[in-house]
Structure 1
Amino acid sequence: MLIAVITDLHANREALEACLAHAEERKVTRYAFLGDLVGYGADPGWVLDKVMEYVRQGAWALIGNHDAGLLQNERQGMNPTARNVVEWTRAQLNAGQLDFIAKLPYRIEWQDILFVHANAWAPENWEYIDGVMEATRSMHATKASITFCGHVHMPTLFHISLTGKTGEFVPTPEEGIPLSKQRRWLVIPGSAGQPRDGNPAACYATFDTESQVLTYYRVPYDAETACQKIISAGLPAVLGHRLLHGN
Structure 2
Amino acid sequence: MKFALFSDLHANRQATEAVWEHAQAEGFDRLVLLGDYVDYGADPGWTIEFVQQRVAEGAVAVRGNHDDAVVVGAHEGMHGQVQLSLNWTRQRVSAEQCAFLSSLPLMASFGDCLAAHANAHAPAEWGYIHGRMEAMRSLYATEAHLVFCGHMHEPRLYHLSGTGKAGEFEPVPGVAIPLSRARRWLAIPGSVGQPRDGNPAACYALYDDEQDSLTFQRVPYDHEEAAQRIIQAGLPEMMAHRLHHGR
Q: How does the TM-score come out when normalised to structure 1?
A: 0.97
Q: 2:193 matched to which residue of 1?
A: 193
Preserved CA contact (<8 Å) 1:135 1:186? yes
Q: Which residue of 2 aligns with 1:9?
A: 9
1:231 to 2:237 alignment = no
The answer for the alignment partner of 1:18 in structure 2 is 18
Give the Cα–Cα distance (whole angstroms) in 1 for the partners of residues 185 and 96 of structure 2: 36
For residues 76 and 241 of structure 1, the distance between their equivalents in structure 2, rounded to whole angstroms, comes to: 24
Please, what is the CA RMSD of the aligned residues?
A: 1.1
Q: Secondary structure, in 3 states, of the residue corresponding to 1:85?
A: helix
Report runs of 4+ in structure 1 exceeding 6 Å deviation. Answer: none
- Following superposition, the deviation at residue 81 of structure 1 comes to 1.1
Cα pair distance change 1:189/1:74, threshold 3 Å: closer
Once the two structures are superposed, what CA deviation does each residue of 1:148-172 show, in whole Å capped at 9, x if it has no partner? Answer: 0100011010001122110012200
* Structure 2 residue runs without a partner (length 5+): none
- Report the counterpart of residue 133 of structure 1 in structure 2: 133
Structure 2 equivalent of residue 182 of structure 1: 182
Partner of 2:158: 158
SS of 1:92's equivalent? coil
In structure 2, how many angstroms separate the alpha carbons of the residues matched to 1:137 and 1:173?
A: 27
1:134 to 1:73, Cα distance in 2 relative to 1, 3 A: closer
| Greater Cα shift, 56-65 or 161-170 | 161-170
CA apart distance, 1:100 = 0.6
In structure 2, C-alpha distance between the alignment counterparts of 1:245 and 1:199, rounded to whole Å: 7
Structure 1 residue 94: Cα displacement? 1.0
Give the corresponding residue for 1:207. 207
Question: Structure 2: how far apart are the matches of 1:76 and 1:152?
Answer: 17
Partners of 1:74 and 1:67 in 2: CA distance: 10
CA drift of 1:78 comes to: 2.9
**2:43 match:** 43
Residue pair 1:75, 1:83 contacting (<8 A) in 2 also: no
Give the equivalent residue in structure 1 for 2:68.
Answer: 68
Contact 2:74 2:83 in 1 (8 A): no
Offset at residue 80 of structure 1 (A): 2.3
Which has the higher mean CA deviation after the structures are superposed, 69-78 or 3-12?
69-78
For 1:46, give the aligned amino acid. W
Unaligned residue ranges in structure 1 (runs of 5+): none
Aligned to 1:171: 171
